[in-house]
Structure 1
């Protein structure tokens, strides 16, 4: 079995026992077998990481990867434009081949940006052929991925039921769970992306939650807390015994503290997408709310029609949002006995509470995201026995040169080009800043043809 020694790096292990050290990571096959200083490994391939930062690969906890071929169209649309033009307009025009191209582009871009595991929340799969095309793309990319089987949400035609009344298709889950995504240890695994209590009534919720459990799958649902079909949301779901650590909630910006406490007390996870949420929602993202309630947040970028899917930008937006809102809630924000400050909401005193640490933001993007995907036993930290998913981030570029603290360097300074090596399950997927095995001209031609066809079928005004 092949051995690789990543030598002499400044290691951010995300393992509380190992911590931050200068040393080596020894890999045998697809697993980490040792982390420490001055490791010996005769015959191993040596990756010189002196002066570089070595850390676990990023885990992207929420991306609609099929949108990879139609980026940068929705960032300036008003609220509702995304649902009108992307879901109701462009999405029905996607052929399985369009889904494959968008997903492949998105997945390869994740590798370029240092992501080693992706939760692909796929809700543009109108047919089994669309589903299979998305899975084909994930497997072709070499990325570790949780394929979240979702459902489309079309406007019903005359005589058709509204999507909110239609249970998740058990036949498709059964086909995938017993077929190509039957293994829980493969590089691409399965989850069920269900409607949840905002987008379906209680009977459909009961069906979908139980279905996911029957197949031992993580379930995930988009939740906002507005215009809900189950009025008290997860309070009802919890009372019925359907809520637990096998469920992931995305967004949830408008839910109340009582419901949030119920969710966290039952072990479910919440994924916030601040790059998108901060642009269109005048409320606090869930990152800081979950932190204040004693939980661990999970983060993702969400939609590439709006923002880049890269985790560096997601980390920055998430941390800045958390720091802003925790500052707003800090007692030290208010001057002593200054009641006028509360009235006008303008601080007159400096905030003395330390900000949310940069290292915490890296934990959200690695071990905490892995936990949200029920994969923290396999990935998310540089721990012996876990899969060898790691990054080597160089510090010799003009933007990284002179950086001192490694966590601050990654969170606040690093660019995709500084991510020199991306390793997934012991295999190098990016080296020298380039994704390996990529036929970029071919992919670019496929993307251009797909975009031209889609926009001809549904013209989009930018």
Structure 2
């Protein structure tokens, strides 16, 4: 059983609400999985004490879009374009058995936790059968992170509205659980509007948020306007990418209450037009960051934050600050997923999803003068010392505590050999 009372003592605490700010020599008190106080010299009575001297303490990172099953295809789509990437998915996706989906999803989710990502939207478009969908959900539960399982339509075929209904009613009916559900169809850029209307109706009946990739395509040159014209535009939609959309469509997303996920690493690697994060923010769209695919991009939030920050320096939009980018990786990401009331900052009452980074590692020495800049520009996954999800320690002293990493690695290698032949 997790400790009911935990005191994180004397850390360099970074909170993100309303904007990122740092406080040295600060304590964080957690009770029953929730943050109850942030301040100095908090009482330690009955608490397990975590010494955070020489540690940065901040909210766990929020990855708003990742195809977690692709951990078995790492590096398979480097130096190619989006069309070739989709070809790789069509080639190898049908080879995945349910056991392969479990192994790849578990390994990818553990990679998230190990690097300080405590919340993950898994856009799982490997729903080849009901058994495949169940395997992905089982893996997310086993990993121990906070997750939204996005039931996705595979690019090679599979999935069904009947199975979406089954998962929602039989497996993921509780929206307050650690693992919840979203519906992730192909979306208006790739599906006729008549089919979209049926999918949107099912999502509404099941009270599911929607998320999908969006871009200008031959099928829908202006997909957001197509949704508006069909009466299908609403505020429970997370749009992914949108690099090729015009500013008028981005403004339409903002006005409708929709949110967005920018994936600067994968977008750059796959040649998905110019950076979009700054344009989304300028349009007033709440925007989080996403890894997208480790087939072509790094799987940690530190790399993503740097990609977003560097891209903003050369884009036509106003340059983002380190604080802007850190907020996208935490509170804005939580808001994009509809979870800002639960996670994303250290406000008392929120779930205690918290990470500690080592300041005494060589790459972070002297970083206490500006911890926010250090997190965004200097830190990397090796610096993640401690991770808590809902107050439960899942990583300590630099190691995941409830995961059999040897077994996970062995299973992932076996999956890669089976589906790709390596």
- Residue 293 and residue 44 in structure 1: after superposition, are their counterparts in 2 closer, same or farther (change >3 A)? same
1:5-44 deviation digits (Å, cap 9, x = unpaired) = 1111121111228943231111001111111222113111
- Residue 329 and residue 16 in structure 1: after superposition, are their counterparts in 2 closer, same or farther (change >3 A)? closer
Q: How much does 1:329 deviate? A: 4.9
What CA RMSD, in Å, does the superposition of the two structures yield over aligned residues? 1.8
| Match of residue 5 from structure 1 | 7
Q: How much does 1:73 deviate? A: 1.8
| Match of residue 114 from structure 2 | 112
- The 8 Å contact of residues 32 and 382 in structure 1, kept in 2 or not, is answered as yes
Give the distance between the partners of 2:228 and 2:289, measured in 1 at CA. 23
Q: Secondary structure at the match of 2:363?
A: coil
1:245-297 deviation digits (Å, cap 9, x = unpaired) = 20011111111111111111111012111101112326322101012223332
| Match of residue 174 from structure 1 | 165
1:105-137 deviation digits (Å, cap 9, x = unpaired) = 000000001000000000011100000000111
Give the distance between the partners of 1:269 and 1:431, measured in 2 at CA. 34
| Match of residue 348 from structure 1 | none
1:385 is the counterpart of 2:318: no
Give the distance between the partners of 2:175 and 2:327, measured in 1 at CA. 24
- Residue 8 and residue 194 in structure 1: after superposition, are their counterparts in 2 closer, same or farther (change >3 A)? same
1:427 is the counterpart of 2:392: yes
Structure 1, unmatched stretches of 5+, are: 156-162, 331-354
1:51 is the counterpart of 2:54: yes
| Match of residue 437 from structure 1 | 402
Give the distance between the partners of 1:397 and 1:185, measured in 2 at CA. 37
Q: Secondary structure at the match of 2:181?
A: strand
Aligned residue among 282, 290, 298 for 2:288: 298
1:206 is the counterpart of 2:209: no
Q: Secondary structure at the match of 1:411?
A: helix
| Match of residue 336 from structure 2 | 372
Structure 2, unmatched stretches of 5+, are: none
Larger Rg: 1
1:136 is the counterpart of 2:128: no
Aligned residue among 295, 310, 325 for 1:361: 325
Give the distance between the partners of 2:342 and 2:267, measured in 1 at CA. 30
Q: Secondary structure at the match of 1:6?
A: strand
Give the distance between the partners of 1:262 and 1:198, measured in 2 at CA. 16
For normalisation by structure 1, the TM-score amounts to 0.87
Q: Secondary structure at the match of 1:80?
A: helix
- The 8 Å contact of residues 202 and 230 in structure 1, kept in 2 or not, is answered as no
Aligned residue among 211, 231, 241 for 2:231: 241
Aligned residue among 92, 95, 100 for 1:93: 95
Give the distance between the partners of 1:61 and 1:71, measured in 2 at CA. 19
1:319 is the counterpart of 2:319: no
Q: How much does 1:244 deviate? A: 2.1
- The 8 Å contact of residues 234 and 262 in structure 1, kept in 2 or not, is answered as yes
| Match of residue 181 from structure 2 | 190
1:294-328 deviation digits (Å, cap 9, x = unpaired) = 33322111101112211111111111112221xx4
1:409-433 deviation digits (Å, cap 9, x = unpaired) = 1001111111111000110111111
Greater displacement, 109-118 / 41-50: 41-50
Q: Secondary structure at the match of 1:276?
A: helix
1:321-371 deviation digits (Å, cap 9, x = unpaired) = 12221xx456xxxxxxxxxxxxxxxxxxxxxxxx42101101001111111
For normalisation by structure 2, the TM-score amounts to 0.95
Q: How much does 1:243 deviate? A: 1.7
Aligned residues between the structures:
418
- The 8 Å contact of residues 20 and 326 in structure 2, kept in 1 or not, is answered as no
Aligned residue among 387, 393, 396 for 2:360: 396
